[in-house]
Structure 1
Amino acid sequence: MTKLPSSIFNEVIGPVMIGPSSSHTAAPSRIGNLAGQLSGGTLSRVTVTFEENGSFATTYRGQKSDQGLAAGLMGMSPHDPRLSDALSIIEQAGIALTFEVKSFEADHPNVVYLDMVNQQGELVTVKALSTGGGRIEFNEINGCPVYLAGDYYELVVMFEGDRSFSLEQQLSKICRVLTGAGITLHGSFVSDNGKAGVESRAVIVVHMREQLSQERMDSIQVLCGKALLRNLVPVMPVMASEQCEVPYTRAEKMLEWCSQQGDVPLWQAAVKYESARANLDERNVIEMMREIAEVMESAIATGLTGDFFMRGFLTPSAGKLHAALKQQKFIPTGMLDMATVMAVAVMELNSSMGRVVAAPTAGSCGVLPAAVFSALDALGVPSEERGERAAKALLSAGLIGVFISEQSTFATEVCGCQAECGSAASMAAAALVDMAGGSALDACNAAALAMQNSLGLTCDPVAEQVEIPCIGRNVGAVSNAVSSANLAMFGFKGNLPLDDVISAMWEVGHTLPDTLRCTGKGGLCTTPSGKRIKKEVDSIRFAS
């Protein structure tokens, strides 16, 4: 199956999630959910294995990957408030969950294997990836190569041992049953592990946009004998479609379209794109983003209270900053005063495993809400218009994120923090230009300039917590976005088009050593104070 173009809601703005990490908390919950569905029935035991040189190996406790996987295996979504207690909940359910770190060949720093046994004694193994910003891929089921992204209803048929039939013929029979029942199919494939005899394994996968009835599953079971059947429910908000054609995936082509339409603003180009990608009415696209904007605004309000416990080594400070601002103690910087406080508030809530929106990641989740909602205040937008204006600004940011996702990555494990806070600054700069009435070209120039300013940014979170330097970098990214927006709208040109700068980010990211890409093995992590903080955090973590 060919990977579909990025969706603003699947890959860029979202998921709505419990912090602290989209790659290492939200994505594992989605992986666990899909894996649990594949296992079927009630789980008995699960072994999770991380590669010793990958990012999960050193961060899975600090960034709550263990909690995310446990939550998903129990059927929880990334925004389920029970996620923070998922390890206790899965233990109380009598499911034996163990984590191992081993040496094996891995083609991505966020590879995870799950070996699962349900109470019927059925064994299912999967290989999955967290690819950045909450996006996932399943690459193997029972050793058979697959591609699942959690964006379809999937019929999965798993065979074991010698087969007296052709997989292709079996797939044809299944498809005839489904189409005969009026079900539209969106692609299918067969796969095996290349072995014979008792070690032989094979898989059939059929993609659909609707769930099969039990009656239909029973009829397919008759066709497939003792094979294990599963009908997976999507874990992504926007489903895929075989007939998916988007108008552009690069800024250059989008700007051509905007020009042809009479220089329409960026938000209209974003709505056009996502309507095609998600197969949604354009008004529905805006309403979906309005709901996300409400979650962002709520995160700001909750973060400002400071009424929560940060699960790292810091204590909430946004409330104190807000008080100092209201007392006019800040060095005045205009809208950046409140934007600074908002960015800190959201990131501190994220660190507490509160409810935030990854934009495009949880490690950069303070940038966009701080930029957008402080600008709404600074621009004097009436209360009755705030929801619509915020949604359009976020959609503008989301389209810039699509271009980044399609040509590079949001995964800090692949390209460092320039892929997270750098991308967020780029997206926020475009959103601000759109809010201020600038053109789509101005927005792309602002996005390019903000990303230029972020190239080479490393990922070195102290003690594997999304706190230091992450919170400060979110604040810096907002400042970068505001400055870049003003420069681009009023005369300064960065000269390099956005697509070129995105390509440069990808190249620069791959030249960074893995010690500076969210492994805890370099930069601030290995300074004397960084080591001391990690030792203190670990002593508390392992004692609890």
Structure 2
Amino acid sequence: MKHPSIFNDVIGPIMRGPSSSHCAGALRIGRLARELMHGARFVDVLVEFDKDGALATTHTTQGSDMGLAGGLLGWDTMDPRLADAEKTLFDKGVKITYTIDHYDMAHPNTYQITLSTPGEKHLIRAISSGGGMVEIISIDGVEISINGDFFETLVFGMSVEIFPHISSLLTTPDFINVLELRDGVCIQIKTQKSLSEDMVSMIAAMDNVTMVRQLSPVLPVLSRRDISVPFSSYREMLDYNVDKKLALSELAIHYESQRGGFERTEVIKKMEEIVDILIQSIQTGLKGTEYDARILGCQSRGFADAMESGSLLGSTVLNTMTLYISSLMEMKSSMGLIVAAPTAGSCAGLPGAVLGAVDSLDLSKEDA
């Protein structure tokens, strides 16, 4: 059973763009694809979407093209250059072709990507499952599972005989999988830390090893073998809390500490950093945002003026919540920095309501 991480699946990713599943998800797929090609200069990239899938009609407007280009450039989801990613990739001599076809897709958000250099070519299938979460499900027609939550080392060889030699070099791998290819094998190694350059060189020099590729994690919280959590459902949470009487915030800290292998202080620090980003995004949005490719212009400034003049009905708390939510949504629609919670489409409701209440009631960070 896979246990979600709050910072992977619920509060995050920290990103730019209209959609976490389209933009952030595509970017993470692009970064993994780039590393599979060893950062080599791509000449051609072919991206195929199934005509019956969700991406066929939305890949341009929802930011999939932009995100994928950013990932192929090696950028992250927060990069301020993201709106220009496609042009930047084109200027570097990379040709991306998008086609709509029909194939046996595993998910409505399936990407079928062929990457080519003068001496290498790979076909990747990947899915974006929502909220920036992704999975590479096949490489060159061979089923595989890469979620971006481990350091991955892929060792391609001519024979399964390479496996015991590689296994003997590894001290603490989380998982080792042997995948059969049409003309050999792929040894998939999942670890908490990247294998050293010396280790990779030793593996690459082995007889019958044809290629070694390393893929870095794209998620903020890594997974590991034998993950455990204090609870995995609301009922288990209530049972866990019977004698502890903890606040929901403390229960979340308990959960994420155990899930991510963090100290309590690390979880709090990570959340404080996210809150600081949200506060800055709200303040930036309230100064006014502009972006040509959106339907509605900036409205939060007019709402703020109406609040100050006393012309609005309702309480200060509710009006401040509305103001902050509007500001964050306008940041999203202008390629500003946001935190998906858990998606970009719903990025403003939770933080806008909480921070609006905090400011209206003049609460300290500790009390909040």
Alignment correspondent of 2:134: 136
CA RMSD of aligned residues (A): 1.5
Q: Is the 8 A contact 2:23 2:64 kept in 1?
A: yes
Alignment correspondent of 2:53: 54
Cα distance in 2, alignment partners of residues 188 and 43 from structure 1: 29
Higher strand fraction (1 or 2): 2
SS at match of 1:85: helix
SS at match of 2:345: helix
Bigger mean CA deviation after superposition, 292-301 or 210-219: 210-219
Alignment correspondent of 2:189: 206
Q: CA deviation at 1:191?
A: 1.7
Cα distance in 2, alignment partners of residues 11 and 43 from structure 1: 31
Alignment correspondent of 1:4: 2
SS at match of 1:192: strand
Cα distance in 1, alignment partners of residues 136 and 96 from structure 2: 20
Cα distance in 1, alignment partners of residues 63 and 326 from structure 2: 20
Task: Name structure 2 gaps, 5 residues minimum.
Answer: none
Q: Is the 8 A contact 1:141 1:203 kept in 2?
A: no
Cα distance in 2, alignment partners of residues 50 and 18 from structure 1: 23
Cα distance in 1, alignment partners of residues 323 and 175 from structure 2: 48
Corresponding position: 1:74 with 2:66: no
Cα distance in 1, alignment partners of residues 305 and 276 from structure 2: 24
Matches within 5 A, 1:516-531: none
1:257 to 223, 227, 240: 240
Q: CA deviation at 1:170?
A: 2.4
Q: CA deviation at 1:334?
A: 3.8
Corresponding position: 1:272 with 2:270: no
Matches within 5 A, 1:374-389: 374-382=356-364, 386=365, 388=366
Cα distance in 2, alignment partners of residues 224 and 22 from structure 1: 43
Cα distance in 1, alignment partners of residues 260 and 354 from structure 2: 24
Cα distance in 2, alignment partners of residues 326 and 202 from structure 1: 67
Cα distance in 2, alignment partners of residues 9 and 356 from structure 1: 14
Q: CA deviation at 1:308?
A: 2.4
Cα distance in 1, alignment partners of residues 324 and 259 from structure 2: 32
Cα distance in 2, alignment partners of residues 350 and 100 from structure 1: 28
TM-score by length of 2: 0.96
Alignment correspondent of 2:164: 172
Q: CA deviation at 1:327?
A: 1.1
Cα distance in 2, alignment partners of residues 285 and 171 from structure 1: 38
Corresponding position: 1:369 with 2:368: no
2:217 to 209, 234, 239: 234
Alignment correspondent of 1:219: 202
Cα distance in 2, alignment partners of residues 372 and 20 from structure 1: 22
Alignment correspondent of 1:124: 122
Alignment correspondent of 1:499: none
Q: Is the 8 A contact 2:154 2:187 kept in 1?
A: yes
Corresponding position: 1:353 with 2:345: no
Cα distance in 1, alignment partners of residues 94 and 197 from structure 2: 26
SS at match of 2:111: strand
2:266 to 278, 284, 303: 284
Alignment correspondent of 1:154: 152
Alignment correspondent of 1:333: 315
Task: Name structure 1 gaps, 5 residues minimum.
Answer: 390-434, 436-544
Q: Is the 8 A contact 2:45 2:114 kept in 1?
A: yes
Alignment correspondent of 1:397: none
Cα distance in 2, alignment partners of residues 32 and 115 from structure 1: 11
Cα distance in 1, alignment partners of residues 2 and 304 from structure 2: 43
Aligned residues: 367
Q: CA deviation at 1:314?
A: 1.7
Alignment correspondent of 2:177: 189
Cα distance in 1, alignment partners of residues 108 and 156 from structure 2: 28
Q: CA deviation at 1:201?
A: 5.8
Q: Which amino acid in 1 is paired with 2:227?
A: C
Cα distance in 1, alignment partners of residues 226 and 168 from structure 2: 20
Cα distance in 2, alignment partners of residues 175 and 202 from structure 1: 14
Q: CA deviation at 1:368?
A: 1.3
Q: Which amino acid in 2 is paired with 1:341?
A: L
Higher helix fraction (1 or 2): 1
Cα distance in 1, alignment partners of residues 242 and 207 from structure 2: 55
Q: Is the 8 A contact 1:67 1:83 kept in 2?
A: yes
Cα distance in 1, alignment partners of residues 207 and 13 from structure 2: 36
Q: Which amino acid in 2 is paired with 1:358?
A: A
TM-score by length of 1: 0.65
Q: Is the 8 A contact 2:53 2:110 kept in 1?
A: yes
Alignment correspondent of 1:447: none
Cα distance in 2, alignment partners of residues 19 and 310 from structure 1: 14
SS at match of 1:127: strand
Cα distance in 1, alignment partners of residues 309 and 22 from structure 2: 39
Q: Is the 8 A contact 1:356 1:362 kept in 2?
A: yes
Q: Is the 8 A contact 2:320 2:360 kept in 1?
A: no
Bigger mean CA deviation after superposition, 308-317 or 74-83: 308-317
Cα distance in 2, alignment partners of residues 45 and 94 from structure 1: 9
Alignment correspondent of 1:308: 290
Cα distance in 2, alignment partners of residues 172 and 154 from structure 1: 18
SS at match of 1:335: helix
Cα distance in 2, alignment partners of residues 206 and 39 from structure 1: 17
Q: CA deviation at 1:45?
A: 1.5
Q: Which amino acid in 1 is paired with 2:255?
A: Y
Cα distance in 1, alignment partners of residues 48 and 207 from structure 2: 31
Q: Which amino acid in 1 is paired with 2:174?
A: H
Cα distance in 2, alignment partners of residues 346 and 279 from structure 1: 31
SS at match of 1:57: coil
Q: CA deviation at 1:225?
A: 3.5
1:320 to 283, 299, 302: 302
